[in-house]
Amino acid sequence: MIIAKGGRGGKGNDFFKSATNQTPYHTQPGEEGESRRVRLSLKLLADVGIVGLPNAGKSTLISTISEARPRIADYPFTTLTPSLGVVRAFGEQSFVVADIPGLIEGASEGKGLGIAFLKHLERTALLLHLIDIAGPTLHDDFEPASVLAQYHTIRKELCAFSSELAARREIVALNKIDLVTEERLQEICSVFHAAKIFPLCISTATREGIPSIVEQLGRAVLESEG
């Protein structure tokens, strides 16, 4: 694609050389081309975009379901650049997953890593919303609704950034179920079910629920392509 045409090239003195003028001093200058300022915005192309608050386990998940090896640590904002991984579902089907750095409240206004990475989600067909259910349970005044609040925090930023993005199909997954009791997990799930949200329950550490989520993502990608 041509965004600015170059000017006509000039002619050097060699062009004017002849038998009677072996060393001409005459030249023809070139003409100026078009000039303009252009801002290029790179947007990753992936089938699935993984979103969530910092430390939700997004990088661990993509390293579990693909060959991608993003940086992983137990503190927020470990991921500073998006990572892409190719996931093989059933048969010969494969799809591309993008690990988007953690979003925080106000991301749509540029807070945290903000808009710099929200834009990458615009080229995804499906969103995987990953939620850490272990972190909130460490507080003495834990309420199951606080986990649902994490979900709404990210949804609010998606809506503020793009109504089209907010309307995109999503799959919700509750991560780190290996760190909570079965009773507490049921309490959290009940809160989501009451809000008409039916999440998958997984653990990237023990791989519990991982085959199921890969299959569901694969089927959802196939449906979006159809």
Q: Residue 127 forms beta bridges with which residues?
A: 49, 170
14 and 121 fall within a common domain: no
Same domain, 129 and 152: yes
Q: How far apart are CA 144 and CA 225, in angstroms?
A: 36
Within 13 A of 165's CA, how many CA atoms are on the CB side? 24
Q: Above 90 in pLDDT, residue 188?
A: yes
Q: Of the spans 22-31, 63-72, 189-198, which averages the highest pLDDT?
A: 189-198
Structural domain range at position 31: 1-40
Judgement on whether residues 77 and 183 belong to the same structural domain of the protein:
yes
Number of separate domains in the chain: 2
Q: Are residues 68 and 19 in the same domain?
A: no
Asked if residue 101 and residue 65 are part of one domain, the reply reads: yes
User: Tokens 């989501």 identify what position?
Assistant: 192
Residues 193-219: b if buried by 16+ CB within 10 A, e if exposed: eeeeeebbbbbbeeeebbeebbebbbe
Instruction: Write down the mean pLDDT value for the chain.
Output: 82
- Mark whether 132 and 65 lie in a shared domain: yes
Q: Out of 96-105, 191-200, 210-219, pick the least confident.
A: 96-105
Residue in the block written with tokens 């694969």: 218
Check whether residue 154 and residue 214 sit in a common domain: yes
pLDDT-based confidence at 79, cuts 50/70/90?
very low
- Residue 109 vs residue 55, higher pLDDT: 55
Same domain? 9 vs 52 = no
**Mind listing the pLDDT tens digit for each residue in 33-66?**
999 998 877 666 788 988 888 888 888 898 888 8
One domain for residues 87 and 19 = no
81 and 163, same domain (yes or no): yes
| 4 and 57 inside one domain | no
